[in-house]
Amino acid sequence: MLLELSATKRIKMNKNNVLSSINLQMKESAETLQKTAEFTSASIQKAAKLIADAFKNGNKLLLCGNGGSAADCQHLATEFMNQLSMNFKRPGLPAIALTTDTSFITSFSNDYSFEGIFAKQIETLGKPNDILIAISTSGNSKNIIKAVKQANLQQMKVISLTGNKGAIKELSDIAITIPSDSTQHIQEAHLVIEHILCGEVENILFKK
């Protein structure tokens, strides 16, 4: 009986610990988003206008990132090509995720290096006044830095999404930096910002 009570107590304690951990993580994520709103709203507004102006002038959007940020690139490119808001119909907007062509990425990495996979695509596809969105939680990924430098060489505009640190924000026209060192909270904030960017661009271009 004592053993059963002890086991029940342990299960209850473990359950409480899990719930406390979940609540703490939710709280930290919410706090990061609140700080992000305070520190990045002006940059997000500028970035949305820059993107909208590029689309108005017949330019396109290229996106690059690694890992979870690569998935973000595909997600955001899809929102622009299809649409975010379902309250009205609109034409597609030219956005290309440079993370999706596995044949090119594996070929170039095998023949040359992984560091150049995005820069080479930008060299080939990018035109002056096109926009590159570079997403990196660390801000120091070598292939992202190389991509940003290539975009600068080609007179493209660069918007970076990163965390507190990193080299790419110094190379960008607009840097949207999340005030956090936590990878998961930076990535969570990036997703929110990506939806906001697409929504604001839609408002600028199509809302009557």
The residues, any chain, with a CB within 8 Å of residue 207's CB and separated by 6 or more, are: none
Half-sphere CA count of 90, side-chain side, radius 13 A: 23
Q: Determine, yes or no, domain membership for 106.
A: yes
pLDDT at 61: 98
Residue 130 has φ and ψ, to the nearest 5°, of -65, 165
Q: Tell me, what's the pLDDT at 24?
A: 86
Q: What is the pLDDT of residues 71-113, one digit of tens each?
A: 999 999 999 999 998 778 899 999 999 999 999 999 999 999 9
What does the alpha-carbon distance between residue 58 and residue 78 come to, in Å, rounded to a whole number?
Answer: 18
Distance CA 51, CA 158 (A): 10
Q: Is the dihedral of CA 67, 124, 92, 131 positive or negative?
A: positive
User: Which residues does the chain have with pLDDT short of 50?
Assistant: 1-2
Question: Which pLDDT score is estimated for 48?
Answer: 98
Residue 11 lies in a domain: no
Distances in whole angstroms, Cα of residue 39 to Cα of each of 81, 105, 184, 185: 29, 35, 18, 15
The pLDDT of residue 50: 98
User: Does 9 map to a domain?
Assistant: no
Which residue has 């890992």 as its token pair? Answer: 67
In a domain, 104, yes or no: yes
CATH number, residue 144: 3.40.50.10490
For residue 193, what are the domain limits?
Answer: 35-206
* 48 within some domain: yes
Task: Give the count of domains, the chain.
Answer: 1
Return the bridge partners of 158, or none. 132
Cα three-residue angle 39-196-51, rounded to 5 degrees: 95
State residue 206's pLDDT score: 92
pTM of the model: 0.88
For residue 41, tell me if it sits in a domain.
yes
Are 148 and 136 spatial neighbours (Cβ–Cβ below 8 Å)? no
Give the residue ranges of DSSP H helices in the chain: 2-56, 68-81, 102-111, 117-125, 142-153, 183-206
Question: Does the residue 26 lie in any domain?
Answer: no
Q: Which of 109, 105, 120 is nearest to 151 (CA)?
A: 120
d(CA 87, CA 203): 11
Note whether residue 21 is domain-resident. no
CA distances from 159 to 113, 135, 174 (A): 24, 9, 5
pLDDT of residue 2: 47
